[in-house]
Amino acid sequence: MAAPSLLKRAVRRLIRPHGSVVRQGEFVTFRPEGFVEAEDPGSLLCRHYYEVMQLRRCLGLIAEQGVKPGRSLEIGCGFGRLSPYIAEHFEQHTAVDINTWAVSEASRFYPKISFSVASATELPFPDHSFDAVITWTVLQHIPNSLVGKALSEIKRVAKPKSLIILCEATLYAGRPEKGWQYTHDRFPELYAEAFSPRRLIVSEFITELDRISSMGSPRRLMVFEPLDQADPDKQ
């Protein structure tokens, strides 16, 4: 069935050269049908639940790492498909995105979660507010010139004893930036340096995703450990 699917993709590219990606100022966001792409509804559901399973695996580290299940922040939440799964691990879940439509849909679906419009590069929260900060295929869409700002914002709003969880494309890191509509793969070391002295305790591709849905680049799960506040050398 490779040929019809290739043909379908070629036709789609002709109609929409940038796919479902839409430029929004310096950033990119997505048309309603394009936040999570898949060939058909079945593979979309498979992909979604596979990602939920991986996310829950990372969130399981909260207790293991002695992190308080207090406040969590999700950056680039889209229409909130992963938000309730994060919210189930914390007393209070906050989620932001630059896409006004997506944020208003998310608020409608999940009224108990606090959604608002904000950019990763300018988070409207005080320092050390959150016990966990999560991005799921978001930083990979932020251009190289601005990603440093987003990473220092994540570091600023995360409590020292918090978990930072990222799921981002990294396979083609080192290749030149291809243009605004594309994914900007980055080496995990870039994230590790930004969050130093935290250690990267999980760094692995979620490869099953490639079998389920044809992705441009497999996603890498990255989890950064909480800082040990008792040890001043580790802060």
Q: Which residues bind ligand SAM (CB under 6 A)?
A: 27-30, 35-36, 75-78, 81-82, 97-99, 102, 119-121, 136-138, 141-142
CA distance 98 to 28: 9
CA distance 30 to 21: 5
CA distance 88 to 174: 37
Min CB(229)–ligand SAM separation in Å: 29
* C-alpha radius of gyration, the chain, whole number: 18
Structure tokens at 196: 């130093």
Min CB(187)–ligand SAM separation in Å: 20
- Between 75 and 227, whose beta carbon lies closer to ligand SAM? 75
Structure tokens at 51: 């990602």
* Closest residue by Cα to residue 187 from 217, 227, 162: 217
- Between 29 and 54, whose beta carbon lies closer to ligand SAM? 29
- Between 184 and 227, whose beta carbon lies closer to ligand SAM? 184
Q: What are the residues facing 96 on neighbouring strands? A: 75, 116
Min CB(183)–ligand SAM separation in Å: 9
Q: What are the residues facing 21 on neighbouring strands? A: 30
Min CB(233)–ligand SAM separation in Å: 33
- Between 106 and 227, whose beta carbon lies closer to ligand SAM? 106
